[in-house]
Structure 1
C-alpha cells in the first residue's frame, strides 16, 4: 500500500470508495435510513470529489495498491480533517490509521499544532485510539444520531541533527 497525493483523474475511484464506505461500513451512523443516506451521499459525486482534489486549501491523499484506491483522506490547510474513508475491501488493514498519520503530518507542515475533525460513530474508537479527544457536544450531521467533534494536539516534529 502506498499513500500519496490524489490525482484529479482518480476522483471517480475515490468517490466510489467514499460512497461504499458510507453505505457498507457506517451502518451504526445511518441505520439504513434512506433520508440520512441520501443527505450524506448528496455531495459524494466524482465532480465534487474532483473539486476537493483541485482546491488549493486541501491536501487530498489516497491509499492505493496498484490502480486500486483503498482509501481517501482530506485535511484542510487550517488543520481540519474533513475526510478519512476506507474501502470495505481494505477494512482492518491499517489504511485509516496510516492515512490519519499522514493527514496529521500535512496539517503540521501547514503550521498547525492541532488537528480537529467530526467523527462518525463508526470511526470514533479509531480516533480515540490515535489520541483524539472529544471536544464538544455530539452533533447530528446529515441526520445521524451522533457525530463527535474531536481534536488532537500534534506533537512537534523532532529536529534531526
Structure 2
C-alpha cells in the first residue's frame, strides 16, 4: 500500500538513504558514473543536509511510503510554483510510488494557489514527467553537472 504524507524529522535517515540510492543507482544517464558529479549531487543529501532542507521554511517536503517504509522523497517550493525534489528508492521503482508522490506534490502546489507548476527534470526522469502531463521548454539547462530539462504543467 502507498501512502503519501508530510515528512518529519524521524524520516530524515530514510530520506537520505532514498535520495542517495536513487541518484547513485537510477540517474546514471545524468551523472555517467563520474565520482565528482556524484559527490556534488549527493553532498546535501546526507542526514544533516536533509534535516536542513526539512527545516527550510519555504520548502514543503513529502514522503511516499510503500508498505510502511519510506520509498520516495519529494519537495515543492510553493512561492516559486516549483517541484524541487522527486526521487524514488530503486527497489520501489515502477510500483506507482513516484506517480503517487508527484500527484501529492502537484496537489500541495494547488493548495498554495499555484496554477502552473515548473520543475527541472533530469534526463532519467524526463519520460516519467512527459507521461504525467508535463511539457518541456525548448532549451536544456544545466542540472547537477549535466543537462536538465525545464518543464511546466498547468495545474488549474
Q: TM-score range by the shorter chain?
A: over 0.9
**Structural mapping, 1:33-44, within 5 Å:** 33-44=34-45
For 1:42 and 1:48, the matched residues in 2 are separated by: 8
Determine which structure has more spread, i.e. the larger CA radius of gyration.
1
For 1:6 and 1:139, the matched residues in 2 are separated by: 29
| Deviating 4+ runs (over 6 angstroms) | none
Find out whether 1:112 has 2:114 as its counterpart: yes
The corresponding residue for 2:73 is: 72
Q: Which runs of 5+ in 2 are unaligned?
A: none
C-alpha displacement of 1:51: 1.9
SS of the residue corresponding to residue 51 of structure 1 reads helix
- RMSD value, Cα: 1.2
C-alpha displacement of 1:15: 0.8
Q: What's the TM-score, normalizing by structure 2?
A: 0.93
**Structural mapping, 1:10-159, within 5 Å:** 10-78=11-79, 79-144=81-146, 146-155=147-156
The corresponding residue for 1:159 is: none
Q: What's the TM-score, normalizing by structure 1?
A: 0.91
SS of the residue corresponding to residue 139 of structure 2 reads coil
SS of the residue corresponding to residue 44 of structure 2 reads coil
